[in-house]
Structure 1
Amino acid sequence: MVIQSINLSVNQQDFDLPVAILCGGKGTRLREETEFRPKPMINVGNRPIIWHIMKTYSYYGLRNFMLCLGYKGEMIREYFFNYDWNHSDILLELGTKQITTLNNRHDEETWRIWLVDTGQETMTGGRLKRLSTYLDQMGSDIFLATYGDGVCDVNIAALLDFHYSHGKLATITAVRPASRFGELVIEDHLVSYFQEKPQTSQGWINGGYFVFARKVLDLIEGDDTVFEEQPLKNLAALGELAVYKHDGFWQCMDTYREMELLKNLYESGQARWKVW
């Protein structure tokens, strides 16, 4: 697939690039919540955080989602399997149990969702690798990826335009919160070195919101591969990891404090990631 320029809008209906979302981790730093549900299913407002992430991509016309399931993945399956039932007006005839969906429709009805069991103990790279068959079936040479616990107001259309402009295998979105994540050493819009969770930071960290060529999966050996370790380091060493700098809003939900922050922002009408 070759696209020279991308001008996505909320009205574009048929944009086929898949979006992989990592949903399988145990979320041990949020054990108060994740003992009962997977972290992507923690509500921000009246919807789980994974829904907020998918709405951002959907706003830019991307509606093919590949969810990499693991820990308590059945709860994510059930949520989306029952989505139409729970978010539409329904006529239920008790005697016959006949169900009729009434005229109103919801904005998410065009979403196509792959619910893929990627294993209970599989690492992030292994989860992406397990999507290979489905990516091949779609015939997609490019896919996007992110984590199931971070919201952002990044312009996905501009991110894709940037990816196609540089011709590298991978693009990573760099953000500027307090550093606890992967440090990016950036030179001329390329990542020259990647270090996960460093002791010091230069100010830019791994914010997720990746764009990858299909060939990136060849760098992943198997289920035990942590994507943020050797694969990203190899891409950086090869000069194939470009960086898209995002100065806007980004926030993960890794701790109880961060969960409360996101909930408070949403409830107070200050959810800057809510571009839809």
Structure 2
Amino acid sequence: MHNWKKTILKVEDTMEVAIKILNQESLRIVMVVDDDERLIGSITDGDIRRGLISQLPMNTLLTEIMHKNPIVVLAGGDKSNILAKMKELDLLQIPIVDSDGRIVGLETLQHLIEKKKFNNPVFLMAGGFGKRLAPLTNNTPKPLLKVGNKPILENIINQFIDAGFYNFYISTHYKAEMVREYFGDGSDWNVSIKYIYEDEPLGTAGSLGLLPDNLPRLPILMMNGDLLTKIDFKELLRFHLQEGEDVTMCVREYDFQVPYGVVETNGKYVISIEEKPIHRFFVNAGIYVLNPSMLDMVDGKSYLDMPQLLEQKRRDSGKINMFPVHEYWLDIGQIEQFDQAQRDVSQFS
């Protein structure tokens, strides 16, 4: 059970604190109060992503990114009126305040309405050899390695099911029969699962060309089958539709510290010395949303990785949306990450 009271922060708190609370409580909002506990601002999941895109530092004060004078409802209001207001203003959550402006609750759209179902295809890449996880993968395909008491791929599928998705396609190659035998047609999970088989490895994008022609003409959510994440797939799809481009790529902020003083020079002269600088980048998180037209760029016969496909799209005219992932995310590519996943699995129970 999520506790809305834990989403209340003070004006001196930072974006780093807000991200921590957003991930812990999964309510996708933090509320900022003054010294008298009156609501003065709100910050949503989307505000944080915009801050990350703008490369704001983690110590940015909440007062710099919050919505001042947020929309609220008074305590005791009729639920149907609250729901109507949230739908009219396209709000996912709305603070409840008393007559003095102090927070007494939080209402969410998810709580007020039935869970929405999405017919969008979900395409999961599960054909890799998992060589870096040997010997664990000598007799078991990586997607079926267990994290806790469930295979990696089952954890992924459950995350999508919880978000309302039910139309799955799984790309297979290495020990494909084991994947098919475990998941079957998806009826044990009350979803549909169909399979794409790569006769030869086609890369991280090549098997897109093997998807059937009768797919729903809806954006496709695509994800590597060796990830654990708490990303909100509904919000990802909503973002993609709102931005209006053909492709959205999820990215993760990655930083590393140079262990030495970095020297900038001009000819034989030293211009500056920066001691152990930290460099920050956005890296590919292995999760995408693709409009159906993107499938026309893939023939299903040639080896093609996603970076190649996206670069081709970018050259050909297309803009590529960037969706920063601040939620939990782990790429289970090596033994070290596999062991980490075992320690983190409680987040997915």
What's the TM-score once normalised by structure 1's chain length?
0.72
Distance 1:145 1:250 in 2: 15
Residue in structure 2 matched with residue 75 of structure 1 by the alignment: 178
Residue in structure 2 matched with residue 20 of structure 1 by the alignment: 123
Distance 2:205 2:186 in 1: 29
1:116 corresponds to 2:219: no
Distance 1:222 1:143 in 2: 16
Distance 1:171 1:82 in 2: 28
Residue in structure 2 matched with residue 159 of structure 1 by the alignment: 236
Report the RMSD for the aligned CA atoms in angstroms. Answer: 2.6
Q: Contact 2:185 / 2:192 at 8 angstroms: preserved in 1?
A: no
Structure 1: which amino acid aligns with 2:155? H
Count the aligned residue pairs. 220
- For 1:117-156, list aligned pairs within 5 A: 117-131=197-211, 133=212, 136-156=213-233
Question: Which gives a bigger RCO, structure 1 or 2 (Cα 8 Å, sep 6+)?
Answer: 1
Residue in structure 2 matched with residue 36 of structure 1 by the alignment: 139
Alignment partner of 1:60 out of 163, 174, 177 = 163
Equivalent position SS for 2:190: coil
Q: State which structure, 1 or 2, has the greater radius of gyration over its C-alpha atoms.
A: 2
Unmatched runs of 5 consecutive residues or more in structure 2? 1-89, 93-108, 257-277
Over residues 16-71 of structure 1, what are the superposed CA-to-partner deviations in whole Å (9 max), with x where a residue is unaligned? 11100001111111121111111100000111000111111111100111000111
Q: Residues 59 and 82 (structure 1 numbering): CA distance in 2 closer, same or farther, change over 3 Å? A: closer
Q: Contact 2:166 / 2:192 at 8 angstroms: preserved in 1?
A: yes
Equivalent position SS for 1:137: coil
Distance 1:16 1:6 in 2: 23
Unmatched runs of 5 consecutive residues or more in structure 1? 85-107, 180-199
Structure 2: which amino acid aligns with 1:175? R
Structure 2: which amino acid aligns with 1:48? P
1:207 corresponds to 2:310: no
What's the TM-score once normalised by structure 2's chain length?
0.58
Distance 2:119 2:148 in 1: 29
Structure 1: which amino acid aligns with 2:190? T
Equivalent position SS for 1:163: helix
Over residues 65-115 of structure 1, what are the superposed CA-to-partner deviations in whole Å (9 max), with x where a residue is unaligned? 10001110100111113987xxxxxxxxxxxxxxxxxxxxxxx53211012
Residue in structure 1 matched with residue 296 of structure 2 by the alignment: 218
Q: CA deviation at 1:201?
A: 7.0
